[in-house]
A = this chain, B = another copy of it.
Amino acid sequence: MNVAVVGATGAVGELMRRVLLERQFPLKSIKFLASEKSAGKQIEFACEKHTVQLIRPEAFAGVQIVLSSTPSSVSKEMSPIAARHGAIVVDNSSAWRMDPQVPLVVPEVNPEELDHIPKGIVANPNCVAIPLCVALKPLQKISRIKRIIISTYQSSSGKGAKGLADFDAQLGPWVRGESVPKPTAHRAQLAGNVVTLDWTLDPNGYTEEENKVINETHKILGDSQIGISPTCVRVPVKISHSESINVEFFEPISVEQAKAALATAPGVILMDELKGEFPQPVHATGSDHTFVGRVRQDPGNINALNLWVVADNLRKGAASNAVQVAEELIRRGIVK
C-alpha cells in the first residue's frame, strides 16, 4: 500500500507511525505530511530517514490510504482533496464523524460500514466512544440496549502533547507541596485534582466531549434510540481512559451470559475480579485491546449490568483504531 500519514509529528501521528510498524502493515511506500511548523523535519521510520512534507494537494498523488490526525479545520479542507486524488482517508479529527455519508468505524463493532464510503472518508471515533462500543457490542447482540449511564476517568493525553506537557509542569511543584503553575491546556489544576469541565460546555448542559459520546455511540451501535447519559471527567493519569458503565437492556442478560460473550469478543480482554484482576490504566497503556472487568448485576435493576472498561486512548482510542480500519479496508478488498 501507498500510505500517507498526515499530522505525522503530533502525539497521535507519531503513534500511528509506531503502530504501522508494530502491526507490520503492508507498506509499498510511505510519506509523512504536516503543517508548516513541522514540514522539513527529519523522521526515522523503519531505519530510514524521511523528510516531513507540507500538507498540500499534490502530496496526495498516488496515495491509496491516508491516515490523518490533524485539527478539524485542516481535515475539513484537506481530506476531500486527498479523497479526490483517489485515496481513502481515515480521519482522526471530529470533522466528519457525524456526516451521514461518512462511516464512523470501530473494526470490532461495525466493519461492514466500510463497504460504502461515498466521500472517500472514514471517520475514527472519539476515544471514549471506541472502548464503550467495543465492550457493549457483544452484549447488544444478545439484547437491545435501552440506556447507558457512563462516567469517565480520562487521562491528560486526551488533550495531546500539550495536555501532557501541562500536566507534567504541574506535577513536580504539586509533589513538592509548592504552588502549582496555572494550567495551560487543561481547564483547571489536574495534579492531585479531578476536572469535569475540561471541555467546552454546550448549551444543553453537557460538554462537547459528552455530546460526542452520545452522538457517536448512537451512530457506531446503529441505534439512536439508546438513552445515553455521560459524565466526562479528567483525572490525573497520563495515558489510558477508564469508564464506569451502567447498561440497561430491554431483556435481562445474566452476568454469566455477559462474561461468556465478552470472553470471546474481538478486541476484548476480560478480567476476572475473583482473581483480583481489574482493568487499570497502567496495564492498558501500550495495548490495542479494550480491557473489561467488574461485570456485575445492577442491584437496582434486573435488566442492567455494571462494567469497568479501560483502554489506551492514544492507541485503541486513536492511532491503533485508525490503522485497524486501514487493515480492514485491505481485508475487504476496498483498497487493493
- The 8 A CB mask of A232-244 against B (1 = contact, 0 = none) is 0101111000101
Tell me whether B149 and A246 are in contact (CB under 8 A). yes
Closest chain-B Cβ to A299's Cβ sits at a distance in Å of: 6
- Pair B149/A194 contact, Cβ less than 8 Å: no
B175 touches A301 (CB 8 A): no
Contact yes or no, A194 B237, CB < 8 A: yes
Contact among B189, B236, B242 with A236 in the assembled complex (CB-CB below 8 Å): B236
The answer to whether A201 has its CB under 8 Å from any CB of chain B is yes
Question: Which chain B positions have C-beta within 8 A of A194?
Answer: 153, 235, 237, 242, 280-281, 310
Chain A 146-195 interface residues, beta-carbon cutoff 8 Å to B: 147-149, 151, 153, 171-172, 175, 187-189, 192-195
Cβ of A255 and Cβ of B175 under 8 Å apart? no
Please give, as numbers and ranges, the residues of chain B lying within 8 Å of A189 by CB-CB distance.
Answer: 280, 282
Q: Is the CB of A205 within 8 A of B297?
A: yes
On whether the beta carbons of B192 and A238 are closer than 8 Å, the reply is: yes
B192 contacts A281, C-beta separation under 8 Å: yes
Interface residues on A, range: 35 or more
Bound together, the chains give a CA A93 to CA B323 distance in angstroms of 52
A253 to chain B, nearest CB (A): 15
Q: Which of B205, B227, B300 contacts A226 (CB 8 A)?
A: B300
A241-258 vs B, CB cutoff 8 Å, 1 = contact: the mask equals: 010101000000001000
What is the interface of chain A, defined by CB distance below 8 A to chain B?
147-149, 151, 153, 171-172, 175, 187-189, 192-197, 201, 204-206, 214, 226-229, 231, 233, 235-238, 242, 244, 246, 255, 273-274, 276, 278-282, 293-294, 296-301, 304, 306, 308, 310
Sample (17) of A-B pairs whose CB atoms are under 8 Å apart: A148-B300, A149-B246, A151-B151, A153-B194, A192-B237, A192-B282, A193-B280, A193-B282, A196-B242, A196-B294, A205-B297, A227-B300, A227-B301, A229-B298, A231-B294, A231-B306, A236-B237
